[in-house]
Each structure stands twice: as C-alpha cells, then as structure tokens.
Amino acid sequence: MSRLGMLLQIAWRNLLASPINLIIGGLILAGTLLFVVVGGLLDSLNDSMARSVIGSVAGHIQIYSSKSKDELSLFGGMGGDPELAAVTEFPRIKEAVEGLENVKEVVPMGSSGALITAGNIVDVTLEKLRNLIKARAGSADDPRLARLTPEALDARISATRRHVRQIIRVLEADQKKALAILKDQAIDPDVVASLEKVSQDAFWDDFDQDPWGSLEFLENKIAPQVTDAQLMFLRYLGTDLDQFQQSFDRMQVIDGTPVPKGQRGFLIAKLFYEDQMKLKNARRLDKLRDATANGRLIASDDELKRFVKENRTQTRDIVLQLDDLKTAEATTKLQAFLKSTDPDLTALLSTFFDTTDENLEARAAFFYAELAPMIELYKVRIGDTLTIKAFTRGGAIQAVNVKVYGTFSFTGLEKSPLAGNTSLMDLMSFRDLYGYLTVDKAEEIKRLQQDTGAQTVTRANAEDELFGEGATIVAEATAGIIDEDKTFTGVGRRLREDDLVKRVYTDSEINSGVVLNAAVMVKDPSQLTATIEAINRLSEEKNLSIKAVSWQQASGILGQIITFFRGVLILAVLFIFGIAMVIINNAMMMATLQRTQTIGTMRAIGAQRSLVLTMVLTESVVLGVLFGGVGILLGTGVMAWLHQRGIPAPNDVAYFFFSGPRLLPDVSSGNLAIALVIILAVTLFSTLFPALIATRISPLRAMQADE
C-alpha cells in the first residue's frame, strides 16, 4: 500500500511539471466531453424515437409471414408499401405467441392506402336538397329527416334552394370576369346557356313540378362547373380498434368517440383531418398562429407571407358555402369589424384575410367566433359515412362504407406527419377492402347460393353441365324491370341497408380472419432480443410460418437512421482518440527522454525495472482519470443543461424523432462508464511503449547525460 501511495505522489508531482502533460490532458478532456455529449444525445434520440415507433403503430416487436416477398416496413419503403403475404392462421399464432413468458399481448394489423374524393360544394348541396325532397315524398334515407314535420321540411328545402341560387350567382359573377379577359371561343356556349337558364326565376318556379328533372339538370350542367372537389390519399391501418387503444396508451381520441367495441368504424388521424379535410383558409390561419407563437414573424417570413396571400385570393370556398341570408349576415359582420361600407363579400373577405403580426390574433378570433359557425369547416364531419375505394390484392376495385366516429392522435406526436397521417379502420372493413373473404361475405355467398340454386361446376364436368343434354346450369335470360324490393333478400338485403354498421362482431370473428402483420407488446423491454429469438424459434417448432423483428427493423429506413448516426459517432471517436494516441505516444516519448537522468538515478539507487514501468503507467492513469473525469463532469453538466432547457424540434418531421416538441436529452451511467474505460485504454496503450523504453534506461546512461 505504501508503494502505491509513493507512486501516486510521484505521479501527482510530475503531473503539471511538464507542459506536455497539459497537451495530453487537453486531448483526453476534449475527447471525453465529445463522447459523453454526442453519445448521450444519440442515446436520447434513440430512446425518444423508440417511444414514438413503439407507442404509435409498431409495438415492441412486429410479426409477419415468413413467406412475404419483401421485408416489413411500417412507414413504407423506397418503392412504396412492402408486398406481404397474408397470415392466414392468426388465432393459432396469437395463442402460441401470447403463451411465451415475456409476451403481454398480440394486436392484429394490416395497412394500406386509398384515394378518397370529397365532393364539391354544389354536389354536397344538391345531395342535401335531393334527400330533403325524398323525405317530403315519404322515402327518406336519413331517419332524422323522416322525423321532421312537413313545415320543417319545407323550411329546409326553401333554405337549401336559396343556397343553390346563391351559388349560381357566384358562378355567374365568375363567368362575367372570365368573359372580360378571355375570348368568346374559350367559353363553352353550353355552359353560358345553362347558367342563364338556372338563374331565371322561371326555372325555380317550375322546380316543384319536376324536382327530379330539375335536380338532374343542376347535377349534370352546373355541378361540373365548380372544381373544388379534392382528391386525397388516405393511409389507414386496419386493426382491432378496442385492443389497439388499450395496448397503445399514447393514442387519444380528440373529437367524437371511440368506435364501439366489435363494430365497424373509422377514426381519422387528427393531423390528416386538419391538413387535408379542413377549410384551407381556416387551416392557414391555424398555421399562422402556430408559427407566430413560436417566434416567427409574418413581416419577415416568406412562407407566412404566402399563407396570407393565398388566404386573400382564395376565398371562393367560403363564399360558395353561404346562402343569400348568410351572405348578408356575413357581409354585415365584416363591415362592422373592418369599419367598411364595401357591399362585396369577396372583397371584404380579401381585406379581412390581409393579416399581419399585429392583427392576426384578433382576426383569427373573429373568424372562429362569427364566420366559422356559418360554414362547414371540414369536408368530412364526425358522424358522416365515408366511402373508401381501394385496389384489392387481386387488382380489382373494392369499396366500403364506414362511419367516421372521431379523430385521434398520439400524445406528444400531435404534429408529426409520420405518426399523424395514418388513420385507423376496423379489421373487418380492412379485409373487405384488401380483398379477403370475411364472415359477412361468406354468409352472403352461401345464402345467394341457396336462393338461386347455384351449383358447383368442376373442370372435369364443366362442358357436360353447361352444354350437355338436360343441362340445368344455364337458364334463359329475360328482360324486365328491376324491382328493388325483390332484388335483394336475406343477407344481401341487410348489406344494402347498411346493417353491417350496426352489427357487433365477437373477438373470435375479429381474430379469425387473415391479417398482414401484428404488434407484439412485451412485459420487459430489456428482454427484447431474447423474446424475438423465442418467437422465431417457436415459429420453426410449430410451423407458424412467421418472422419476428424488432420495432427498429420494422420501421424500415427510419429505424436505421439512429444506427447510422451511432456509426458516425463511433468513427468520430475512433478518429479523435486515434489522433490522441499518436500525440500521447509521441509526447510520452519526449517526456521519457527528458527524464532520462531521473530514471537512471532511480535505477542507480536500486529501483527495479518493474517499479519504473509501474511508475510511468501510474502517471498515465492519473493523467487520464483526472482530465477524463473533468471531461465527464463537463459533459454531464452540458447534458443536464440541455435536459433542463430542451432542444426544440426544428420541423414537423423532427417531432417524430424527438417524440414530442422538444428533445430532453439525458446521459446514462453506462455511457459514463464506457467513456472512462476508453480513456484508460487509450492512455495506457499510448504510454506502454514509452514506459518500456523507460525501463531500459541504465545508471551509466544517467551519468553520461550528467556529463
């Protein structure tokens, strides 16, 4: 112990005796500080991204068919969605996987995309008028309209007709502007004639005599002149909605209600709902308010200036939604607010949307308090039935009608496009869209076979059954009028009448069909690798034909970003400490040569070579521990400061990687231990050769140096 104390005293005395030691210490301190800070940032980024991926759609582990052509990529790959084989025995797989010790539950999934169209304002208004007229005739599709009194129906029809006439006046004004700047040949005469016809009182005086013919004319001649219909790409995830919300606790329903357990339904991602389905003027106001709240200024920001310009010039969607009474009301309110006498609503709206940093909040508050209640802010409302059309796996087009129960988002990821653009659909509707045989379709086919007497024809007897004597398969077709009440019977009739919306499916029915993939939630995330190996081993033993991958691998290229940055960090650390090793080695060589007399004298008075070697190495360890420790303390201080302040997400994409608006980095004890080990290893390795040289210095060499 006394020997160690002596060596430490010598090391401490010689620590600051040479400026070379300060150079070596500075390199150790800088390298350690860099490793602690950058390593801590990457670890924090990895943890936050893990929370985003695991808490949104992936779970801890993803399983999918091992027969799939492509690797699973939940967020899509470079070539689009991966081509996955169907998992056809999901109940058996679910039972087997949930039997593993660390598995908490398995959530069935399948994702795809579709194009949906939100009709233009004329289509929507004319459809509303058609439904009202049908209700007055006693054949209402909407039970709410059937409960209205005749007086209430007449009042609604009158208001809707006024709205249509107001739209026609707006179209007439647009046409006059077009005629003023375009050649007559550029305007279709049929368009001019159609608008002129429906603008006359005579057309509307005769409307009730032939309402269906009048509506047909409006739908065929007037509606196509309004081109505000929007085509939107909708990405959706089919799943057991009730189990999904229980398993992914970051999911929160924002507007509306959750889909009732076991029923068909749809939840729209809140960010998608706001970005794609909200009135553009209102959405731009929202973005302007968010931007200015984060310190951006309209006066100096080109993007915000563009938002203001677009709001000023694109007011048509608002004008078309207002009937004559609402137009007058909106005009009066805007005149009072703007202190203007201009009677033109379009001009007033253009002036109103000329927002600045000073008037933005006041005008946004006025818009939502006074104008928004008069119009539809969203193209799809909560409670509406959404028609989704998509290509099946066989290439055919399939459509389903699903009720929109509400919107949702993942806590902390409200503004992340990666987590906020995927909506949720019940698993039964997903299977219909994807082209799989569901229990409903199987029941319908069976009933239709019974009702029609359809027979199964095999390849071997097809010719005899179809064309042989006494064939009963082919019947003579006769023309006739279709009786809708007799066309659909049994299951077919229930499907047509949308009973599927009311049907409650059992857990067995939901889980018995095919899925594309499934999320596996584990009890102990630290055992993730062992659990993946256990699932893959189980698949081989029980012939489940599934493959298990971690959340990072399942997230595709996104999951590899952290791995890439970690590799960059390792290369940077190797580069820095590689240079440090060379410099430390050379510096220690110089320091050893400068101490030739001292070391030789020690040898002359009896110091063994082992003592000299231990002395030099001890000095290196003390140097590394001292300056490395200072680097660790400084790095820990920097990380604590960053954690307290937070690193704001620079854009919406960063929200996903930061798992929220700010990254709160932290440093782990493991990182500190690794940093200390690297410091000691580099320092000892760099000084080993100079230390060996020091042991070879003889007393004679010391006396020669003295002379």
Please state the three-class secondary structure of 617-670 as a single string. Answer: HHHHHHHHHHHHHHHHHHHHHHHHHHHHHCEECCCHHHHHHHCCCEECCCCCHH
| Any domain includes 511 | no
Alpha-carbon distances of 299 from 132, 268, 307, 432, rounded to whole Å: 48, 35, 12, 51
Residues 6+ apart with CB under 8 A from 19: none
Nearest to 337 by CA among 374, 362, 308: 362
The reply to whether 590 and 701 lie within a common domain is yes
Whether 190 shows a pLDDT value over 60: the answer reads: yes
Out of 34-38, 189-193, 425-429, the most confident range is 425-429
Stretch among 98-112, 169-183, 280-294, 602-616 having the lowest mean pLDDT: 602-616
Q: Can you give the pLDDT at residue 24?
A: 73
| Any domain includes 49 | yes
Out of 101-115, 356-370, 576-590, the most confident range is 356-370
Q: Can you give the pLDDT at residue 490?
A: 44
For 265-309, the pLDDT digits (tens) are 999 999 999 999 999 999 999 999 999 988 889 999 999 999 999
32-57 average pLDDT score: 82
| Any domain includes 31 | yes
Q: Can you give the pLDDT at residue 17?
A: 57
Nearest to 63 by CA among 560, 524, 557, 545: 545
Separation of CA 236 from chain center:
10
| Any domain includes 195 | yes
242-266 average pLDDT score: 92
Q: Which residue has the higher pLDDT, 248 or 6?
A: 248
Whether 489 shows a pLDDT value over 80: the answer reads: no
Domain edge (last residue) among 377, 408, 443: 377
Q: Can you give the pLDDT at residue 497?
A: 45
Q: How confident is the model at residue 482 (pLDDT cuts 50, 70, 90)?
A: very low
The reply to whether 196 and 284 lie within a common domain is no
Question: What average pLDDT does the chain have?
Answer: 79
Alpha-carbon distances of 350 from 169, 196, 303, 310, 317, rounded to whole Å: 19, 28, 18, 10, 13
Q: Can you give the pLDDT at residue 478?
A: 45
What is the Cα–Cα distance from 278 to 287, expressed in whole angstroms?
A: 12
- Count the domains in the chain: 3
513-528 average pLDDT score: 91
The reply to whether 583 and 698 lie within a common domain is yes
Stretch among 90-99, 160-169, 223-232 having the lowest mean pLDDT: 223-232
Q: Can you give the pLDDT at residue 615?
A: 67
Whether 549 shows a pLDDT value over 90: the answer reads: yes
Residues 6+ apart with CB under 8 A from 654: none
The reply to whether 590 and 670 lie within a common domain is yes
Residues 6+ apart with CB under 8 A from 349: 315, 318, 319, 334
128-145 average pLDDT score: 81
Q: Can you give the pLDDT at residue 562?
A: 63
The reply to whether 221 and 296 lie within a common domain is no
Alpha-carbon distances of 7 from 404, 466, 609, 680, rounded to whole Å: 77, 104, 14, 17
Whether 122 shows a pLDDT value over 70: the answer reads: yes
- Under DSSP, the state recorded for 435 is T
620-631 average pLDDT score: 78
Q: Which domain holds residue 189?
A: 120-225
Q: Can you give the pLDDT at residue 701?
A: 56
If DSSP codes are grouped into helix, strand and coil, which group holds residue 293? helix
Q: Which residue has the higher pLDDT, 388 or 74?
A: 388
Domain edge (last residue) among 225, 244, 269: 225
The reply to whether 205 and 283 lie within a common domain is no
The reply to whether 20 and 149 lie within a common domain is no
CB atoms within 10 A of CB 121: 22
| Any domain includes 128 | yes
Q: Which residue has the higher pLDDT, 629 or 441?
A: 629
Q: Can you give the pLDDT at residue 459?
A: 60
What is the Cα–Cα distance from 603 to 610, expressed in whole angstroms?
A: 11
Is the pTM higher than 0.85? The answer reads no
H/E stretch holding 398 reads strand 397-410
What is the Cα–Cα distance from 418 to 74, expressed in whole angstroms?
A: 10
Whether 483 shows a pLDDT value over 60: the answer reads: no
If DSSP codes are grouped into helix, strand and coil, which group holds residue 61? strand
Query: Sign of the C-alpha dihedral, residues 229, 230, 231, 234?
Result: negative
Q: Which residue has the higher pLDDT, 51 or 351?
A: 351
For 555-587, the pLDDT digits (tens) are 877 667 667 766 776 676 677 667 766 776 666
Alpha helices (H) along 475-556: 484-487, 490-496, 507-512, 528-542, 551-554
The reply to whether 594 and 693 lie within a common domain is yes
For 454-481, the pLDDT digits (tens) are 666 666 665 565 556 555 545 454 444 4
Q: Can you give the pLDDT at residue 479?
A: 45
For 328-343, the pLDDT digits (tens) are 999 999 999 999 999 9
Q: Can you give the pLDDT at residue 244?
A: 93
What is the Cα–Cα distance from 367 to 344, expressed in whole angstroms?
A: 18
Domain edge (last residue) among 199, 225, 251: 225
360-367 average pLDDT score: 95
CB 535 within 8 A of CB 96: no
Q: How confident is the model at residue 260 (pLDDT cuts 50, 70, 90)?
A: very high
The reply to whether 206 and 298 lie within a common domain is no
Q: Which residue has the higher pLDDT, 184 or 153?
A: 153
Whether 176 shows a pLDDT value over 60: the answer reads: yes
Q: Can you give the pLDDT at residue 471?
A: 53
- Under DSSP, the state recorded for 142 is S
The reply to whether 577 and 669 lie within a common domain is yes
Token output for 397: 């087009």
Instruction: Using a pLDDT cut of 90, give the percent of the chain over it.
Output: 27
The reply to whether 590 and 673 lie within a common domain is yes
Q: Which residue has the higher pLDDT, 443 or 206?
A: 206
Stretch among 94-108, 145-159, 425-439 having the lowest mean pLDDT: 425-439
Q: Can you give the pLDDT at residue 453?
A: 60
Q: Can you give the pLDDT at residue 403?
A: 92
What is the Cα–Cα distance from 568 to 563, expressed in whole angstroms?
A: 9
CA atoms within 13 A on the CB side of 618: 18
Q: What share of the chain is helix, strand, coil (3-state, %, to 5)?
A: 60, 10, 25
Q: Which residue has the higher pLDDT, 605 or 310?
A: 310
The reply to whether 286 and 361 lie within a common domain is yes
| Any domain includes 492 | no
Q: Can you give the pLDDT at residue 502?
A: 73
Whether 42 shows a pLDDT value over 60: the answer reads: yes
| Any domain includes 610 | yes
| Any domain includes 499 | no
